Amino acid sequence: MAKNSSGDMGFSAGKIERDNAEAEAISRCESFGAGSCQVFETFNNQCISTAVSSSGQAGIAIAPTKEKASSLATEKCEKSFAGVCKVTLAECTRPIFEKF
């Protein structure tokens, strides 16, 4: 995931190479036009969720399932920003099996 100082965010899922995923997350974030974005979180074989408050602040969580990530994101959002938060994103990367 990438974000900028204005609170815009972008993410990428389904990329095998970390560099490609980070580049896509930055590109998506910067497409909102409010400035330069930086990667702040990476994940693999996991799910990510964001929950947003009525004031636009977000709680973000990474967990093994969409349901757990959504629950944790909502909890973080409501604890940090008071009020009801709504899940706006719940996505998982595709699991990659590495044979040793």
Instruction: Specify whether the CB–CB gap between 57 and 80 falls below 8 A.
Output: yes
In tens, the pLDDT along 50-95 reads 999 998 888 999 999 999 999 999 999 999 998 899 999 998 887 7
Find the angle CA(24)-CA(26)-CA(32) to the nearest 5 degrees: 110
Place of tokens 């815009």: 8
Question: Model pTM?
Answer: 0.76
Calpha distance 61→77 (Å, rounded): 10
The closest alpha carbon to 51, from 19, 17, 13, 79, belongs to: 79
Place of tokens 């074989």: 45
